[in-house]
């Protein structure tokens, strides 16, 4: 929390209103299940409903008060003379309007959108890295226990695979999945966010899955191709080359858009640039998608202990698609792949 307060003070903000659950969790160790607001200032406080008050008091590092209305916050603004107040970009507009200054009552403060927390959360502490590593370990162990190639031979459906993998991850220590598991087969593999359709597994299967451990996410993708299919093998090899090239370029001091450019240029060289239809990756942590995005426009400079995914893909509409993804820790001089799950399943 001190790092966030430092950024806030440097920007001369008196306080910040935080309502996103994972941001509250990040600052206080309290993971809300109901409405909650953290007022971050020199002596921060959590406001939560009676429904969640006991949970908050048992888990939060910060003082807790019962939330009755947004007037509680406005009263603190007045009493403590908070004038310049930051808010999250996803704060509901209705809440924003209720918190605006009332000039007729001589209540005068300014609310403005800030990204202090997003910037702070980019660089992970060691316990966060450990949680992400453990989440990845669980996800990879569970995938191997799934024995996907045997399932292909048995003509198990995509829905059954997603369900069983979720069960295995929970059995191996995950609290839940990081996101809805993607199991695509046949032409559906050309859809980056394909949904299971209860189809029997064909000769190509693309899976994207992750588990949560202590609140932290993992994210992995693998594509199981038919080694006898020359077109599938060609595309797989290009994607793997882009994946390896991007990871080789990771180090502190380089912009994430440059990492995206490395992967994208390799795929473009082979004439499939228009078939790589998403960014090269993203950060993750308490949320499955965090800043920075490994994309063309993101100018964020990598720092040691940032975490990003690398997931290039080529998608041939109506035919098939290939994606390979792992999560990478930015080390002192290079990127460190979390886990050692083979690409050739």
Structure tokens at 130: 């450990």
Return the domain boundaries, the chain.
2-120, 123-337
Please write the tens of the pLDDT for every residue from 36-46.
Answer: 999 999 999 99
**Over residues 262-278, mean pLDDT:** 98
CATH code matching the domain that covers 2-120, chosen among 3.20.19.10, 3.40.350.10, 3.90.740.10, 1.10.10.10: 3.40.350.10
pLDDT above 70 for 104: no
pLDDT above 70 for 275: yes
Q: What is the pLDDT of residue 1?
A: 73
pLDDT above 80 for 103: no
CA 12 to chain centre: 29
137 neighbors 318 (Cβ within 8 angstroms): no
How many other CB atoms are found less than 10 A from the CB of residue 296?
12
Identify which has the larger pLDDT, 224 or 69: 224
| DSSP H or E stretch at residue 310 | strand 307-310
Q: What is the pLDDT of residue 240?
A: 98
CB crowding 35-74: b at 16 or more within 10 Å, else e: ebbbbbbeebbbbbeeebbebbeeebebebeebeebeebb
What percent of the chain has a predicted confidence (pLDDT) above 70? 99
Q: What is the pLDDT of residue 102?
A: 72
Report whether CATH 3.90.230.10 matches the domain 123-337.
yes
What is the secondary structure of 161-197 as a DSSP string? HHHHHHHHHHHTT-SEESSPPEEEEGGGGGSTT----
Report how far residue 69's alpha carbon sits from residue 53's, in angstroms, rounded to the nearest whole number.
15
Cα 7–Cα 8–Cα 13 angle in degrees, nearest 5:
150
pLDDT above 90 for 161: yes
Q: What is the pLDDT of residue 134?
A: 98
Look-up of token digits 């996101």? 179
Please write the tens of the pLDDT for every residue from 294-316.
Answer: 999 999 999 999 999 999 999 99
Mean pLDDT of the chain: 95
**Over residues 199-218, mean pLDDT:** 97
DSSP designation for 41:
S
pLDDT above 90 for 15: yes
3-state helix, strand, coil in the chain (%, to 5): 40, 25, 40
Structure tokens at 252: 């502190």
pTM above 0.85, yes or no: yes
CB crowding 131-144: b at 16 or more within 10 Å, else e: bbbbbbbbbbbbbe
Report how far residue 27's alpha carbon sits from residue 139's, in angstroms, rounded to the nearest whole number.
26
Q: What is the pLDDT of residue 305?
A: 98
């Amino acid at each position: 929390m001190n790092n966030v307060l430092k950024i806030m003070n440097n920007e001369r903000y008196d306080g910040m209103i935080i309502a996103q659950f994972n941001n509250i969790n990040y600052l206080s160790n309290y993971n809300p299940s109901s409405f909650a607001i953290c007022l971050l200032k020199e002596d921060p406080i959590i406001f939560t409903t009676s429904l969640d008050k006991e949970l908050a008091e048992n888990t939060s590092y910060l003082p807790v008060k019962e939330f009755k209305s947004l007037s509680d916050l406005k009263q603190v603004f007045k009493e403590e003379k908070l004038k310049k107040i930051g808010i999250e970009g996803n704060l509901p507009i209705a809440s924003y309007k209720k918190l605006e200054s009332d000039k007729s009552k001589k209540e005068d403060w300014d609310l403005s959108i800030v990204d202090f927390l997003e910037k702070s959360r980019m660089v992970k502490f060691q316990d966060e890295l450990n949680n992400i590593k453990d989440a990845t370990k669980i996800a990879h162990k569970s995938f191997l226990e799934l024995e996907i190639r045997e399932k292909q031979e048995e003509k198990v459906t995509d829905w059954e695979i997603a369900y069983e993998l979720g069960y295995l991850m929970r059995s191996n220590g995950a609290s839940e999945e990081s996101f809805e598991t993607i199991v695509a087969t046949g032409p559906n593999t050309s859809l980056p966010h394909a949904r299971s359709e209860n189809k029997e597994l064909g000769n190509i299967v693309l899976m994207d899955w992750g588990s949560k451990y202590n609140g932290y996410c993992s994210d992995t993708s693998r594509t199981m191709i038919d080694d006898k299919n020359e077109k599938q093998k060609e595309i797989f090899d290009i994607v793997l080359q882009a994946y390896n090239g991007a990871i080789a370029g990771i180090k502190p001091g380089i912009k994430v858009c440059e990492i995206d450019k490395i992967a994208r240029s390799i795929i473009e060289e082979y004439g499939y640039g228009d078939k790589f239809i998403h960014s090269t990756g993203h950060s993750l942590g308490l949320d499955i998608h965090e800043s920075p995005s490994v994309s063309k426009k993101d100018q964020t400079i990598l720092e040691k202990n940032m975490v990003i995914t690398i997931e290039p893909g080529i998608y041939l509409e109506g035919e098939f698609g290939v994606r390979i993804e792992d999560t990478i820790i930015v080390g002192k001089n290079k990127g460190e792949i979390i886990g050692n799950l083979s690409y050739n399943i």
